[in-house]
Structure 1
Amino acid sequence: MSKPDVPRWDLASVYAGFDSESYARDKKRFKKAVESFSRNASDRSGRKYSPEKWLKTCIKTYNTAVDLYENLAAFAYCRYSVNTRDTVATNEISAIDETAVPLHRAMVVFRNGLHDSRKKIRRIVSDSKALRKYAFFVEEELFYREHQMSADEEDLAADLSRSGADAWSRLQESVSSTLSVPWNESEKKTVVELRSLAHDPDRSVREKAYGLEIGAWKSMETPIAFALNGVKGTTVVLNKRRSFKSALENATRQSRISTKTLDALIAVMDESLPIFRRYLTAKTSALGLERLAFYDIFAPLGADTRKWSFQEARRFIVEQFTGFSADLGEFAERAFAESWIDAEQRDGKVGGAYCIGFPIPGESRILANFDGTFSGLTTLAHELGHAYHGKVLRKETAIRRFYPMTLAETASIFCEAIVFNRALTSAPAAEKPAILEIFLQDTTQVIVDILSRFRFEQSLFDHRKEGELSPDELCALMIDAQKSTYGDALDAEKLHPYMWAVKGHYYRPELSFYNFPYAFGQLFGLALYAQYETDPDGFPARYRKILEQTGSASAVEVTRAAGFDIEMKDFWRAGISFIEQKVDEFSQNVAATGRS
């Protein structure tokens, strides 16, 4: 896989640059839109004498402000995330956030207005065809009205965040994207590149990369620990002042699920752990090892595991997506053809992958760190699923485009399922075991590792209420969490104590527990795929309908429309059952080779 084969994205269709006329124009428009929404939200006379007009005007100006904010902020973040040393991009992010600060105060005023006139507003929304589609939004804002500080306090919190929790978050991103160590006498590798070597067939290479990565994180543990303490400390204080019992209560509400749903999901994840440990034990045998280390989790089975060029991955994804629906296939081809994807690994670029939307041109951009593995291919499919979700909702207003983190992972994981299942059925017999094993690698991450991250974050918040945690304490919490989920399937002396420094999700002050939504999306996506296999005729249209509803209803309501009851453990067990079948198949394959 040569570097010229791996693309960088083109942002010109959004803005030519920070100095372009269109970018400057939209910054001015954004400032005016914020002022307009603030003025309308504060119009007590209008709300009293013309409440329907007041609500329509507030919704219209808020939608405009959010569209412009998302477009500008996404562009600045795209520029920053491929080069975290770009001070111009950093300054633009700060400037955009500064302009957005009054929105927080205006939303407090708007919610107070909704609350003060709630009986009248609810009647108007029910009777108005134009406003009826915003009923869910109105009720959600009324809920958050009970969990907000005063207008002055929310304004101050938003202003301080730019140089507080958000700055701590950017510190983690900057360190994780630039931290590097010598690999040999002539070459350095970033921690992102070192983590990619976890897929190397040579165990000595994996072990060396793991050791260097752990050492690299240890060298930066103090500033990163300060960053994590800063982010979580801010979250603890704000949740308390907003009358949330815990960060998890807030995250559950942000996910638009019930506590009963989360409890059922976590309980089934916990009871499924022996299944995944059985898979890891079989993999240990397949690799000819006595015990699996953390750096063996992604080890390929066989030294001749296929390496994909980016163009091969592109053709494969488009072909499989087209097999599901022409609409999805054409969309993926457009994303590739119009350079929406930045897949090249390079110094200064953030690790992992993400998809981000630009509402004004109706486009998305995808960041990935493509490494030529099938897992790298499925990551592209995953992010294209997010982008397709955005495409389905592109004609909706900003309010109705917003969907929770649980449903955010549904389209992405469904697209992964398309690629995996079609790859498994169409691959030559010699390649099928490797594809099956990659699926189990990924699901182990989404269930077992995600559960460890969930437990770590629970412990972190419990301890952070009492004070700051040292790097050693953070490492100890992480090791305890990993032991609780991986159990004896991994060598307890060779876990990853610095996963708290690696995962950027821990450093998002506005969004805690961005871990369980992946498990939600995995199991819901598998349930949808099972429906597709049972009744493929017309399913793409039904699937699109589900995605269309994600911004205007709770996750419970959206999934109920698909025929599922996510508050029951049996729903989640159905997804685990599918995975268990694959574990059985894998274990039988290993046994047949005589290595178990």
Structure 2
Amino acid sequence: MHRTAVFDTVEAAAGGSGLGDLPVWDLTDLYPAPDAPEIEADLTWLESECAAFAKEYEGNLSRLDAEGMLGAIRRQERIDAVAGRIMSYAGLRYYQVTTDAERAAFLSDCQDKLTAHTAPLVFFGLEVNRLEDGHLDRLFNQNADLARYRPVFDKLRKMRPYQLSDELEKFLHDQSVVGASAWNKLFDETISGLEFEVDGEVMGIEATLNLLSEQDRSVREKAARALGETLSANVKTFARVHNTLAKEKEVEDRWRKMPSPQTGRHLSNDVEPEVVEALRNAVVAAYPRLSHRYYELKRKWLGLDRMQVWDRNAPLPMEDDRKIGWTEARETVLSAYATFSPQLAELAEPFFDKGWIDAGVTPGKAPGAFAHPTVTDAHPYVLLNYLGKPRDVMTLAHELGHGVHQRLAAAQGEMLSSTPLTLAETASVFGEMLTFRKLLSEAETPAQRKVLLAGKVEDMINTVVRQIAFYDFECKLHDARREGELTPDEISALWMSVQGESLGPAFDFMDDYQTFWAYIPHFVHSPFYVYAYAFGDGLVNALYAAYESGTPEFQEKYFDMLKAGGSKHHRELLAPFGLDASDPAFWDKGLSMIEAMIDELEALED
């Protein structure tokens, strides 16, 4: 891996005992340094190109022939690529050390400049939406290269009923840097700066959350209480962030005449509201058969009369608590990928060898994990907070799935490579499933099999049940905010209203647990994002069942699906596998796979 001056302010992540050397990002594939002349040159080009683009095309789109429209689209793609490269570099540097003032300022400056430079482009989508359908159809029929971009136009035109005047759209564009993005940064900086004291040791949120899966119950309890105490002490700030963002969204939705707070997310996901509603209803109806039943089993395994919230992710008593080193994690995931297809492993390997992963837990680093696609003429980057737990190996498999998906879809170009969130989880969850199935096939004893099955069921409950409960919380939050300002206690009450329902009667809830909504980043960054996880899990369960049943040419069809990126609707992508997400029975099939695993766990008790 190349190490450069970019990382001088980032402590090398040794990973601690037993993990080995953990990789750090090499961002020089994007830019050599934050003060590199290439960044300034790209910003200068963007400013002049956006102005030239507007001068040539504003007010003239209806007069373009097919060749002219294709030229405009390709110029827009180039603008997107340059802007995306700058923001990817600035954002990735920031997420390495969110508490670093210089990195935060650099990101803000880049956002401000790009917002200003790209303001002249706002007209494009507005004018496209004023074109007659017949006119566009004629252009597509005249030029096959232009017709390839039809999905871009279709997605734009779905916003037609909710489009504001040109002047208002430009205002919203300019105002965005002091709107949602500013509150997002406040949230990120606040979360990353929080300190939690456990047994005299002060740590960040990621390390504290990690203690909730420790074998020692007293450690889990102390971590949970530390989380609750600190979140409660800061809950007014988080309530202000949520109130402001929910109100801002309500105002914009009202002006756009959006029928519901969720409409914007459904449109961006290219999914019908009734499909999401069918998913949500199927999962909620399955709570007793899934989470309630599983946690009652776990309560017995742990020898408890009642489960507490700090027991939810507890390891089983017979579980091996050894840490899994980085080299072993790498080999586990790559071999699982290779078992499905050598090509899948080959696509994942550069992430380890070329500085595309940042794995260690370091001060100020963003919590959680993600795969960022950057731009199609570069490559994705994966962020982890690797601590050597089995779940961390599954997270590695998950994020590498995203990365592989993003690499395959890159050939579609900037406008067509981005996959809707509902389908963006496909390769990631499938990668997890491949890794799990490989480990399960290698289990040597019933106890090992039980631990693996329980871990997978918990992951699926966290992905399906917990995320749908999150979705219901968001729906309640945005509905309530329409009626007025919400106090921290009122937000907490909405949170608790979905917790007992989803987790089941095995649990008691400690004081301060009602504030745990405060640390969930998706509520802030991407309202209603969370149902995409459940969508992806259900979709992958159905896909994996098709794979196991011997669907002809499954691997070839799977790669074709990933390569499509955002160029096809979920109906087209699933058709080759004989699947249809608009069929309510589709979701029951996916949930039945989780249920079957719980059945097996119950059978192992006999």
Residue pairs, 1:50-199, within 5 angstroms? 50-101=64-115, 103=118, 106-185=121-200, 187-199=201-213
Q: Does 2:59 correspond to 1:23?
A: no
State the Cα deviation string for residues 225-272 of structure 1 (Å, max 9, x = none). 111111111111111111211121221122111122112111110111
State the Cα deviation string for residues 561-582 of structure 1 (Å, max 9, x = none). 4321111121111111111110
State the Cα deviation string for residues 488-528 of structure 1 (Å, max 9, x = none). 132144683223211111112xx420111100000111111
Q: Does 2:262 correspond to 1:248?
A: yes
Partner amino acid, structure 2, of 1:271 = A
Partner amino acid, structure 2, of 1:526 = N
Choose the corresponding residue for 2:583, options 549, 556, 568.
Answer: 568
Do the aligned residues in 2 keep the contact of 1:382 with 1:415 (CA within 8 Å)? yes
Map of 2:6 onto structure 1: none
Partner amino acid, structure 2, of 1:291 = R
SS of structure 2 residue aligned to 1:366: strand
Residue pairs, 1:100-499, within 5 angstroms? 100-101=114-115, 103=118, 106-185=121-200, 187-276=201-290, 277-302=292-317, 304-359=320-375, 361-429=377-445, 430-493=447-510, 496-499=513-516
Do the aligned residues in 1 keep the contact of 2:228 with 2:512 (CA within 8 Å)? no
Report how far residue 555 of structure 1 moved.
2.1
The whole-number CA distance in structure 2 between the counterparts of 1:581 and 1:176 is: 38
Cα gap change, 1:105 to 1:249, in 2 (>3 Å): farther
| Runs of 4+ that moved beyond 6 A | none
Percent identity, please.
27
The whole-number CA distance in structure 2 between the counterparts of 1:391 and 1:555 is: 19
The whole-number CA distance in structure 2 between the counterparts of 1:319 and 1:265 is: 33
The whole-number CA distance in structure 2 between the counterparts of 1:209 and 1:48 is: 61
SS of structure 2 residue aligned to 1:5: coil
SS of structure 1 residue aligned to 2:373: strand
Count of aligned residue pairs for this structure pair = 586
The whole-number CA distance in structure 1 between the counterparts of 2:336 and 2:22 is: 20
Map of 2:9 onto structure 1: none
State the Cα deviation string for residues 318-377 of structure 1 (Å, max 9, x = none). 111111111111122211111211111122111111111222543111111112111111
The whole-number CA distance in structure 1 between the counterparts of 2:241 and 2:398 is: 29
Q: 5+ residue gaps in structure 2?
A: 1-15
Q: 5+ residue gaps in structure 1?
A: none
Report how far residue 389 of structure 1 moved.
0.7
The whole-number CA distance in structure 2 between the counterparts of 1:525 and 1:104 is: 39
Of 452-461 and 92-101, more deviation after overlay is shown by 92-101
Do the aligned residues in 2 keep the contact of 1:364 with 1:387 (CA within 8 Å)? yes
The whole-number CA distance in structure 2 between the counterparts of 1:57 and 1:472 is: 54
Partner amino acid, structure 1, of 2:378 = G
Do the aligned residues in 1 keep the contact of 2:193 with 2:364 (CA within 8 Å)? yes
Map of 1:503 onto structure 2: 520
Do the aligned residues in 2 keep the contact of 1:108 with 1:150 (CA within 8 Å)? no
The whole-number CA distance in structure 2 between the counterparts of 1:67 and 1:527 is: 35
Cα gap change, 1:542 to 1:494, in 2 (>3 Å): farther
The whole-number CA distance in structure 1 between the counterparts of 2:480 and 2:594 is: 35
Cα gap change, 1:272 to 1:281, in 2 (>3 Å): same
Do the aligned residues in 1 keep the contact of 2:309 with 2:508 (CA within 8 Å)? yes
SS of structure 1 residue aligned to 2:99: coil
Report how far residue 43 of structure 1 moved.
4.4
The whole-number CA distance in structure 2 between the counterparts of 1:199 and 1:477 is: 26
State the Cα deviation string for residues 266-286 of structure 1 (Å, max 9, x = none). 111011111221011000100
Map of 2:10 onto structure 1: none
Cα gap change, 1:104 to 1:538, in 2 (>3 Å): farther
Do the aligned residues in 1 keep the contact of 2:126 with 2:166 (CA within 8 Å)? no
Cα gap change, 1:352 to 1:35, in 2 (>3 Å): same
State the Cα deviation string for residues 168-190 of structure 1 (Å, max 9, x = none). 111111111121133234x3111
The whole-number CA distance in structure 1 between the counterparts of 2:580 and 2:89 is: 39
Cα gap change, 1:435 to 1:36, in 2 (>3 Å): farther
Do the aligned residues in 2 keep the contact of 1:34 with 1:100 (CA within 8 Å)? no
Report how far residue 87 of structure 1 moved.
2.5
Partner amino acid, structure 1, of 2:363 = D
Taking structure 2 as the reference length, what is the TM-score of the superposition?
A: 0.93
| Aligned CA-pair RMSD | 1.9
Do the aligned residues in 1 keep the contact of 2:356 with 2:380 (CA within 8 Å)? yes
The whole-number CA distance in structure 2 between the counterparts of 1:314 and 1:179 is: 31
Choose the corresponding residue for 1:35, options 39, 51, 63.
Answer: 51
Taking structure 1 as the reference length, what is the TM-score of the superposition?
A: 0.94
The whole-number CA distance in structure 2 between the counterparts of 1:489 and 1:556 is: 39
